Chain A
Amino acid sequence: MLATTIIVFREFIEVALIIGIVMASTSLVKNRSYLVLLGLLAGVVGSCVMALFIVRLEEFMGDYGQEYLNIAVILCSMGIICWTILWMDKNGGNGYKGLKNSAATITNENKILLILLVALSVVREGSEIILFLYGVYLAGTSVESLFTGFGLGSVVGSFFGYAIYKGLLILPLKQIFHVTSIVLILLAASMAVQLANLLNQVDVLNDLAITVWDSSPILSESGIIGSGLHVLIGYTEQPTLLQLIFYIATLITISFVRKKSILAR
């Protein structure tokens, strides 16, 4: 049961943190809880489909089907996050009043992107949880113990998402948008780190897969703090040169585009 709890927790914390940040950055959007819930549901359904489909993925998409799918999901998520940052810049310029007005006029397009972002983050981890739990069940673990493990892991994981949500909401309203923008930029950069590794895993740019440092003795990536930081700021105990390049390039690109779009106004 403990093993189940730990694995469910590790998969859950990623989704929970992303949803916490999304909830905080959309805190002025009406009915956002429903939108996030809709995203969650879509994500759960998507995860079930993926869990069934992953078995045959290689047949349809070649040896690296899983990786290609992951790359596509990460690129989509990064795109939506960047778009959200620019949207916040555009609409948050007039201070709190501007925020309130723009929040009231959130379009259907925005809503769909919000649902999609939540759904995509669930799908990435959800199919793993399902396959894992199914395996534990096949191994003869009782359903009660399975549920307890899943329950504990998901509750503890969700707690971290709730904590970051509350933490961001403590900020004065004027600063919320500013700080969440930075949090979102770091989230996008941390996805870029995963993207770099996925490219290596399909044998692309492997010459740049040189380890830059090893901080595993100081902070392990599989611990609670390490895995949290991995999601939030892209902490990696043994980053490659390619990951470092992707990380910095993402930070610079987003900052540059932001500055340009702010100046353009």
Chain B
Amino acid sequence: MKRFFLIILLFFPSIVFGVDEVEIRIKDHKFIPEQLTLRLGEKYKLVIKNEDISAEEFESHDLRREKLVAGGRVIKIPIGPLNPGKYEFFGEFHPKTARGVIIIE
């Protein structure tokens, strides 16, 4: 039994310690914050809250993520572990205003 827990701890640390949630809000077709710095090699869960009444699609080629978030709703997107670098994301429905970047250091 002890060994079982040790294996879980070793291979699936996120199950034991949980994954950090990072909140990004969408307001007036803009992301708040537009830039966030996250730790290297760790998993996160992006929690995207759409405070507008219209839907948005969170999209990032760099992170390979794409997900609809209806007006007034919240979605969750797991990311990482990531290499150092800049990962841009945008709202596909409002690509001019809704832009942001995640920086991994």
Contact = CB atoms under 8 A, between A and B. Distances in A.
Interface of A: 3, 7, 54-55, 58, 63-64, 66-67, 127-128, 131-132, 134-136, 138-139, 197, 200-203, 206, 209, 216, 221-222, 237-238, 240
A237 B64 CA distance: 10
A56 to B, nearest CB: 9
A222 B95 CA distance: 13
B61 A237 contact: yes
Contacts of B62: 238
Interface of B: 43, 53-57, 61-62, 64-68, 70-71, 73-78, 81, 92-93, 95-96
Given A55-B73, A58-B73, A201-B78, A135 B64 contact: no
Contacts of A58: 73-75
B65 A131 contact: no
Interface residues of A: mostly helix, strand, loop or mixed? Answer: helix
Contacts of A134: 54-55
A186 to B, nearest CB: 21
A197 to B, nearest CB: 6
A132 B93 CA distance: 6
B53 A66 contact: no
A139 B75 contact: no
B93 A7 contact: yes
Given A135-B55, A135-B93, A66 B71 contact: no
A238 B68 contact: no
